[in-house]
């Protein structure tokens, strides 16, 4: 294939990144690449200009791609050579210096420039900025500001947005008195609400920056050189230098003169192509997508990927869907992160914390369980988590307090330990904790090496220290990293709530579809039962039961023994059976020569040692329902005598046990559920140490205890509530079980789950319906109850081929 | 010289599961993976003779139901690092979906 020619107009962050994306897709084999840049340099990280201004970094440190890079990648770079004409008919671009380059495909990435408001006196007679007045947009601006600051005593900055404040902070380092002049009522009004703006003002002033709000500049004073500013309210300030940071304007003129549709910027489709010409792509701040023009770095990375996928034909369906905006302020001494909207709409949930004395302010706006806006000041330790939740629109933990604070996590180390592997450390470049881990594992042992290889910390730079800490953590050697500890199953990098959300969203109803959609098509044997349980829980009768995903116990409905035989436990609610049933059990034991007949701890009779192929016969002869004694599921409900014969009984424990068993039998759960009812607080049936225990206390009332255990752990259950009737006991017990089913980790028994969540929290959700989910829990449990069936009926209608065959005889041919 | 024996048809084993077949007085576990492949191994786990055909299949691996020993069905290699390897038998599918096996062990 003959190579085509890709000409890129613009050598800023967008243009260079887009080209890198093309190269990473093997684009060098498809295209000869030519780039034009206005500035006489390679490509640098514009976001870090404020670091150069403050002296934190040297100009040489912010280059992303030095000139060598272009040569190494066979890219022809015309640096310092602005393009002045695009002839779309002839497909030729022409630069100011007269260089002409024909193209097959064109990328416009001209970015934007500082907006200089037309204030009288801001320009000199030559129409250039008056002496001492600067924009703040490129390396030359930066060098000019630094040079001027050396000889200045009072500097003014017009603009109290992100850039203006970063400039102001930088100027302080050069010994100037600094004044920020802002038109709006508070600083950073795009990203902050009024209290946040006030707090930021206080922080800036504490640092030594003078802040003037609601000041409309009417004139830049001074004959030759700037000497001050005059305002609409008649006041003035003196200054001997001025930085104008009043926003940016897209460099879209080149598009207009080329006959492309330009509104605020050049209008593009979802493939980042100009809507008028399929051979012209536009990315970055000069592009307008669905009416939006972005001025932050993250959208530009996304756009670059879509462009590269499309132009290399790697993915012709690649589409950009817009970006959500989140930002951090890089001002030394001020910790600030902001995302989305700043004020709640009606019906939104507002979560706020304010401690002005410490400069801490946190405000989150939640809509439908999702984060739609947030402001963090002072303490931004939760910023990475929240920004990710915001960006991905993922459901938030129900524990709202944990959104604002890390309890019990005093040191950073704990935080990195607990950071999920898929958490983004660098939001600009989408680098996760696990990606950094992989990079360290492949031999990069320094922060710089990791940053070079992954680009982590090379976007806005605000995460650099965190990247360093994560790298250090991975290099720690002794630290055992198991990124999967937070996953529900190790092969799908999602927590249980995330996994449930994904399964619901994508309609994944079978274990094999989960592997296909969420685990890259790789099956993990050990994960199958956990996934089957979860899907059965959330889909009830819609669950697509693939028997191969079930542990053998759930395939043949008995508990496997060490010799490969199985145990058979018929249902016996509350430990009660009829004499007839008892005789049948005895007959079966004789007929099948059952090696062991044993009473279980759950007040039932266990027939142990039955070969697989005898199971259907045993079940049929018993004529009793399955006792669910083998699975991660509701097992049984034991009871005492209750009121019928016992002289102390206060409630009908046997009756309630039977009702509970009939309702919940066979319901899947994260681990086994053993229940009990007891007719009085003497606790003969040990209800106080059950997963769910019901204790009659008289007058028809029942106490419900949860999280008890009498096994490997011994734990007395926590009293969840006292109810007035059997119906309420069943309803609330069931609601708790559903909450446990949806929220517990795989194999996490209630005696771990209840202390982990906290009894107060559980009581609030289950009894007081604090989260408004009680109805949903009840509905979900009812769906599972309705979907449950007696699996021993498979004796007559096997579910799979040779389901109960111990061995298949070969009919040789 | 090895002999190929037709031991049964693939539809006797549900996808993703395994069954034991009696092949000339020898019990052999035969596996039918989700990818539609077929494998055969010795029936008992070397650790405590757990019935491998009752285990869980993941890709081309088998997890013993008793104590979670994991083996590669293609090679017989123990993957969990806590057990000896298992015997595998060469097995293939005929065009009409029948399972053909060579009785001579491959390893």
Pair A778, A651 in one domain: yes
Which run of H or of E encompasses A261? none
Residues A199 and A295 in one domain: no
Number of A/B CB contacts below 8 angstroms equals 98
DSSP class of residue A793 equals G
Residues A644 and A779 placed together within one structural domain of the fold: yes
A779 and A640 within one domain: yes
Three-state DSSP class for A45? coil
Domain ranges of chain B: 4-102
Q: In this structure, what token pair is assigned to residue A454?
A: 């992954």
Q: Which of residues 451-470 of A touch B (CB under 8 A)?
A: none
Q: How far is B107 from chain A (nearest CA, A)?
A: 23
Show the tokens assigned to A801. 């081929």
Q: How far apart are CA A251 and CA A111, in angstroms?
A: 6
Distances (CA, A) of A432 to A370, A384, A463, A479: 21, 11, 12, 18
Answer whether residue A150 is part of any domain: yes
| A637 marked as binding residue | no
- What is the spatial distance between Cα A742 and Cα A757, in angstroms, rounded to a whole number? 13
Fold exhibited by the domain B4-102: Rieske Iron-sulfur Protein (2.102.10)
* Best to test chain A binding among B4, B6, B10, B16 (most A CBs inside 10 Å): B16
Q: What number of residues does chain B have? A: 107
User: Quick check: A564 and B54 CB within 8 A?
Assistant: yes
Three-state DSSP at A476 gives coil
Task: Please tell me which of the candidates A529, A547, A807 has its beta carbon nearest to residue B17.
Answer: A547
What distance in Å separates residue A526's CA from the closest CA in chain B?
7
Task: Give the best residue of A492, A531, A549, A552 to mutate against chain B (max B CB count within 10 A).
Answer: A552
Q: Hey, what are A24's tokens?
A: 């990473």
Q: Are A47 and A139 in contact (CB under 8 A)?
A: no
- Cβ distance B12 to A802 less than 8 Å, yes or no, reads yes
> The CATH number of the domain where A670 resides is what?
3.30.413.10
Question: Which residues from chain B sit within 8 angstroms of residue A529, using beta carbons?
Answer: 56
> What CATH number is attached to the domain comprising A269?
3.50.50.60
Instruction: For residues A301 and A15, give the distance between their C-alpha atoms in angstroms, rounded to a whole number.
Output: 10
> In A, which residues are within 8 Å of B7 by CB distance?
810, 812
Cβ <8 Å between B63 and A801? no
Query: For A192-235, how does the pLDDT look when each residue is reduced to its tens digit (9 = 90+)?
Result: 999 999 999 998 998 899 999 999 999 999 989 999 999 999 99
CB contact at 8 A, A121 and A103: no
Residue at A760 is within a domain: yes
Q: Which residues contact A794 (CB under 8 A, 6 or more apart)?
A: A557, A616, A803
Q: Does A521 touch chain B (CB under 8 A)?
A: no
Residue whose structure tokens are 């990144």: A17
Q: What is the DSSP string of A188-200?
A: TTTT--HHHHHHH
B61-70 pLDDT, tens per residue? 999 999 999 9
Question: In this predicted structure, what is the pLDDT of residue A484?
Answer: 55
Alpha carbons A456 and A468: distance in angstroms, whole number:
10
Cβ within 8 Å of residue A235, ≥6 positions away:
A215
pLDDT tier, B105 (very low <50, low <70, confident <90, very high otherwise): low
Q: What is the C-alpha to C-alpha distance for residues B91 and B101, in angstroms, rounded to an integer?
A: 4
Straight-line distance from the first to the last Cα atom of chain B, in angstroms, rounded to the nearest whole number: 16
* Final residue in a domain of this structure, among A535, A550, A565: A550
Contact A810 B55 (CB under 8 A): no
Nearest to A13 by CA among A39, A51, A50: A39
Mind listing the pLDDT tens digit for each residue in A405-426?
Answer: 865 444 344 467 777 777 888 8
- Beta strand pairing call for A718-723 and A701-706: antiparallel
- In angstroms, the separation between the Cα of residue A7 and the nearest Cα of chain B is 46
Query: Is the predicted ipTM greater than 0.85, yes or no?
Result: yes
> Are A130 and A122 contacting, i.e. CB atoms less than 8 angstroms apart?
yes
Q: Using one digit for the tens of pLDDT, what is the confidence trace for A323-342? A: 888 888 777 778 888 999 99
Confirm or deny that A491 is annotated as ligand binding.
Answer: no
Alpha-carbon gap, residue A735 to A773, rounded angstroms: 10
Low-confidence ranges of chain A (pLDDT < 70): 1, 406-415, 461, 476-485, 712-713, 811-813
**From A808, which residue of chain B is nearest by alpha-carbon distance?**
B21
User: Is residue A242 located within the same domain as residue A256?
Assistant: no
Interface test with A, best of B14, B27, B60, B73 (most A CBs within 10 A): B14
> A219, A246, A273 — which closes off a domain?
A246
Instruction: For residue A583, tell me if it sits in a domain.
Output: no
CB-based burial label for A100 (10 Å; 0-12, 13-18, 19+): exposed
Quick check: A526 and B61 CB within 8 A? no
Nearest to B16 among A529, A546, A612 (CB): A546
Best probe of the B interface among A810, A811, A812, A813, by most B CBs < 10 A, is A810
Give the three-class secondary structure for A777. Answer: helix
Distance of CA A738 to the CA centre of its chain: 25
Contact predicate A280/A106, CB 8 Å: yes
A522 touches chain B (CB under 8 A): yes
Is the domain of A641 the same as that of A754? Answer: yes
Say how many domains are in chain A.
4
Q: Looking at the structure, do residues A181 and A272 belong to the same domain, yes or no?
A: no
- How far is the alpha carbon of B36 from chain A, nearest alpha carbon, in Å? 13
Quote the CA–CA distance of A447 and B89 in Å, as a whole number.
50
Contact B55 A806 (CB under 8 A): no
Select the residue of B16, B24, B68 nearest A548 (Cβ to Cβ): B16
Does residue A511 lie in a domain region? yes
Beta carbons of B5 and A526 less than 8 Å apart: no
Q: Do B16 and A562 touch (CB under 8 A)?
A: no
What's the per-residue H, E or C state across A436-460? HHHHHHCCCCCHHHHHHHHCCCCCC
Q: Which of B23, B51, B63 lies nearest to residue A526, judging by beta carbons?
A: B63
State whether residue A48 is helix, strand or coil. Answer: helix
CA distance A411 to chain B (A): 35
A window 481-520, beta carbon within 8 A of B: 512
User: Do the chains contact at B68 and A526, CB–CB below 8 Å?
Assistant: yes
Contacts of B100 in chain A (CB under 8 A): none
Residue whose C-alpha is closest to residue A791's, from A614, A669, A665, A673: A665
Question: Which of A489, A807, A811 has the highest number of chain B CBs within 10 A, making it the mutation to test binding with B?
Answer: A807
Are A780 and A652 part of one and the same domain?
Answer: yes
Determine whether the annotation assigns residue A463 to a binding site. Answer: no
3-state secondary structure A356-398: HHHCEEEEEEEECCEEEEEEEECCCCCHHHHHHHHHHCCCCCC
3-state secondary structure of A55: coil
Inter-chain contact A526–B20, Cβ cutoff 8 Å? Answer: no
Distance between CA atoms of A307 and A289, rounded to whole angstroms?
Answer: 13
Of all residues in chain A, the one with the smallest CA distance to B51 is: A564
The residues, ordered by sequence, that sit 6+ positions from A179 with a Cβ below 8 Å of its Cβ are A154, A155, A156, A157, A209, A210, A211, A212, A237, A239
CA distance, residue A808 to nearest chain B CA (Å): 5
Angle at A307 between CA A295 and CA A314, to 5 degrees: 155
Considering only CB atoms, which residues of chain B are within 8 Å of chain A?
5-8, 11-17, 19-24, 27, 34, 48-51, 54-59, 61-63, 65-66, 68, 70
CA distance A563 to chain B (A): 7
Mutate to test the interface with B, among A808, A809, A812 (most CBs of B within 10 A): A808
Residue numbers in A near B63 (CB within 8 A)? 525-526
- Domain containing A698 equals 633-789
The candidate with the shortest Cα–Cα distance to A560, out of A629, A636, A634, is: A629
- Residues from chain B contacting residue A800 (CB–CB below 8 Å): 14, 17
Q: Is A798 on the interface with B (CB under 8 A)?
A: no
Phi, psi for A626 (deg, rounded to 5) = -60, 145
Same domain, A651 and A785: yes
A684 is in an annotated binding site: yes
Collect all residues of chain B within an 8 Å Cβ-Cβ radius of residue A564. 49-51, 54
Per the model's pLDDT, the better-predicted residue between B40 and A463 turns out to be: B40
Kindly state whether residue A168 falls inside one of the protein's structural domains: yes
Residue pointed to by tokens 């080209």: A19
């Amino acid at each position: 294939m003959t190579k085509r020619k890709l000409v890129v107009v613009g050598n800023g962050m967008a243009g260079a990144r887009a080209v890198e994306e093309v190269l990473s897709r093997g684009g060098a084999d498809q295209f000869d690449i030519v780039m034009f840049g206005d500035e006489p340099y390679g490509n640098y990280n514009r976001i870090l200009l404020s670091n150069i201004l403050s002296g934190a970094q040297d100009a040489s440190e912010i280059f992303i791609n030095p000139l060598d890079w272009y040569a190494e990648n066979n890219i022809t770079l015309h640096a310092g050579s602005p393009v002045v004409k695009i002839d779309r008919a002839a497909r030729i671009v022409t630069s100011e210096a007269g260089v002409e380059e024909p193209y097959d495909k064109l990328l416009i990435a001209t970015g934007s420039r500082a907006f200089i408001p037309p204030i009288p006196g801001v320009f000199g007679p030559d129409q250039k900025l008056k002496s001492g007045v600067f924009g703040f947009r490129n390396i030359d601006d930066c060098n000019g500001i630094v040079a001027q600051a050396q000889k200045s005593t009072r500097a003014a900055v017009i603009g109290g947005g992100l850039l203006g404040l970063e400039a102001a902070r930088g100027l302080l380092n050069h010994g100037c008195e600094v004044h920020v002049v802002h038109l709006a009522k508070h600083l950073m009004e795009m990203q902050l609400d009024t209290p946040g703006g006030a707090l930021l003002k206080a922080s800036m002033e504490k640092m030594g920056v003078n802040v003037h709000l609601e000041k409309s500049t009417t004139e830049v004073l001074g004959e030759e050189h700037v000497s001050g500013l005059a305002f609409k309210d008649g006041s003035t300030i003196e200054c001997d230098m001025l930085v104008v940071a009043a926003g940016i304007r897209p460099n879209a003129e080149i598009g207009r003169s080329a006959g492309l549709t330009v509104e605020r910027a050049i209008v593009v489709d979802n493939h980042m192509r100009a809507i008028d010409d399929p051979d012209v792509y536009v990315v970055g701040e000069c592009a307008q997508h669905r009416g939006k023009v972005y001025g932050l770095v993250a959208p530009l990375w996304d756009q670059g990927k879509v462009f590269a996928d499309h132009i290399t034909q790697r993915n012709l369906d690649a589409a950009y869907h817009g970006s959500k905006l989140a930002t951090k302020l890089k001002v030394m001494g001020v910790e600030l992160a902001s995302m989305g909207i700043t004020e709640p709409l009606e019906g939104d949930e507002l979560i706020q914390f304010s401690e002005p004395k410490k400069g801490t302010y946190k405000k989150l706006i939640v809509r439908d369980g999702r984060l739609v806006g947030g402001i963090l000041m002072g303490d931004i330790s939760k910023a990475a988590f929240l920004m990710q939740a915001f960006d991905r629109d993922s459901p938030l933990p129900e524990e709202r307090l944990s959104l604002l604070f890390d309890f019990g996590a005093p040191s950073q180390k704990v935080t990195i330990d607990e950071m999920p592997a898929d958490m983004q450390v660098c939001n600009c470049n989408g680098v996760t904790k696990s990606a950094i881990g992989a990079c360290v594992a492949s031999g990069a042992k320094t922060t710089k090496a990791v940053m070079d290889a992954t680009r982590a910390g090379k976007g806005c730079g605000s995460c650099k220290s965190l990247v360093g800490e994560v790298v250090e953590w991975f290099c720690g050697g002794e630290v055992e990293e198991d990124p999967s500890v937070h996953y529900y199953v190790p092969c799908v990098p999602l927590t249980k709530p995330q996994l449930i959300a994904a399964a619901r969203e994508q309609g994944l109803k079978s274990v094999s579809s989960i592997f296909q959609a969420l685990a890259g098509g790789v099956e993990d044997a050990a994960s199958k039962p956990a996934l089957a349980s979860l899907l059965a829980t959330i889909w009830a009768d819609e669950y697509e039961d693939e028997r191969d995903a079930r542990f053998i116990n759930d395939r043949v409905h008995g508990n496997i023994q060490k010799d490969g035989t199985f145990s058979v436990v018929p249902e016996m609610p509350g430990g009660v059976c009829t004499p007839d049933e008892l005789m049948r059990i005895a007959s079966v034991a004789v007929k099948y020569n059952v090696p062991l007949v044993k009473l279980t701890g759950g007040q039932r009779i266990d027939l142990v040692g039955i070969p697989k192929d005898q199971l259907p016969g045993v079940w049929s002869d018993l004529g009793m329902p399955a006792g669910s004694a083998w699975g991660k599921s509701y097992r049984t409900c034991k009871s005492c005598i209750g009121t019928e014969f016992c002289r102390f009984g206060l409630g009908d424990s046997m009756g309630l046990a039977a009702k509970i068993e009939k309702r919940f039998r066979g319901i899947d759960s994260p681990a086994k559920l053993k229940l009990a009812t007891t007719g009085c607080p003497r606790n003969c049936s040990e209800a106080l140490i059950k997963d769910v225990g019901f204790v009659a206390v008289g007058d028809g009332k029942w106490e419900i205890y949860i999280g008890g255990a009498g096994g490997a752990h011994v734990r007395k259950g926590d009293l969840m509530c006292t109810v007035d009737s059997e119906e309420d006991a069943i309803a609330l017990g069931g609601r708790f079980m559903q909450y446990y089913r949806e929220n517990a980790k795989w194999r996490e028994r209630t005696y771990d789950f209840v202390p982990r969540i906290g009894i107060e929290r559980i009581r609030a959700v289950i009894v007081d319906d604090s989260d408004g989910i009680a109805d949903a829990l009840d509905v979900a449990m009812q769906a599972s109850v309705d979907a449950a069936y007696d699996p021993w009926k498979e004796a007559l209608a096997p579910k799979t081929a040779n389901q109960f065959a111990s061995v298949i005889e070969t009919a040789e041919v | 010289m090895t002999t190929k024996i037709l031991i049964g048809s693939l539809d006797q084993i549900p996808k993703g599961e395994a069954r034991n077949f009696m092949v000339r007085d020898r019990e052999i576990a035969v596996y039918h993976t989700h990818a539609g492949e077929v494998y055969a191994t010795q029936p008992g786990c070397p650790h405590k003779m757990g019935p491998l055909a009752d285990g869980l299949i993941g890709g081309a691996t088998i997890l013993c139901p008793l104590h979670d020993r994991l083996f590669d069905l293609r090679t017989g290699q123990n993957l969990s690092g806590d057990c000896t390897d298992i015997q595998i038998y060469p097995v293939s599918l005929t065009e009409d979906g029948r399972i053909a096996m060579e009785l001579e062990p491959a390893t």
